[in-house]
Chain A
């Protein structure tokens, strides 16, 4: 499984854009990159997933360079409610391109949004 490295913590202010970068140098060809968000006293929640280039949904954008050795989660105009732990996960696809197996969590990035 590809190991991920992301900052332990980040601070931001309301209304700013936040970019959290994750390194995954050993990502495999069939691996997808997925980000989860976890609020205190809750379970993790899926945010976004991508394989290459850029993916955008109503919550965030995910930028993946051509070599796929890193990825950046972008949160536009954060608010206080975006304060949470953000996890970058890779290694979720099997040879068939789909995976229903376990998730491997790292330490995650604690994002604190200040007023």
Chain B
């Protein structure tokens, strides 16, 4: 079974440009999450989709970030316009919905997209 995939693996853009990151979750996973790690900091939660709906977007830093998950499959995270402090690694994760029977819903992470804003 394919894991969580993210595209691109690396992106280098200039300040003020727009970048769109893509995440393909594991097939059948209703939950999709975005996290990021900026230099020297901890991995921080950005937002959580349940299917196509935003369940929790409390971690989104500002309105320059826009996440979508049309159709409840893949998700995109757009940064517009990008700023220097947006540099970091953006992780996507997915987990199953209510099936599974396990009290904790294990999240499966992708390899991340390394974003560098110059």
Contacts and interface: CB of A to CB of B under 8 A. Distances in A.
A61 interface: no
Contacts of B35: 103, 105
Size category of the binding interface on chain A:
20 to 34
B115 to A, nearest CB: 14
A99 B50 CA distance: 12
Nearest to B33: A102
Interface of B: 4, 31, 33, 35, 42-45, 48, 50, 55-56, 58-59, 91-93, 95, 97-98, 103-112
A105 B56 contact: no
A43 B95 CA distance: 14
Contact of B43 (A49, A92, A105): A105
A41 B111 CA distance: 7
Given A100-B50, A101-B48, A92 B59 contact: no
Nearest to A45: B109
A107 B43 CA distance: 8
Interface of A: 32, 34, 41-46, 49, 51, 92-93, 97-108
Given A103-B33, A104-B45, 6 more contacts: A42-B109, A49-B104, A51-B103, A98-B98, A103-B45, A105-B44
Given A97-B103, A100-B95, A43 B45 contact: no
Given A45-B109, A100-B95, A105 B104 contact: no
Given A43-B4, A43-B112, A44-B43, A103 B104 contact: no
A102 B35 CA distance: 9
30 contacts: A32-B104, A34-B104, A41-B111, A43-B4, A43-B92, A43-B93, A43-B110, A43-B112, A44-B109, A49-B106, A97-B103, A98-B103, A98-B105, A99-B104, A100-B31, A100-B50, A100-B95, A100-B105, A101-B48, A102-B48, A102-B58, A102-B59, A103-B35, A103-B43, A103-B45, A103-B93, A103-B107, A105-B35, A105-B43, A106-B42
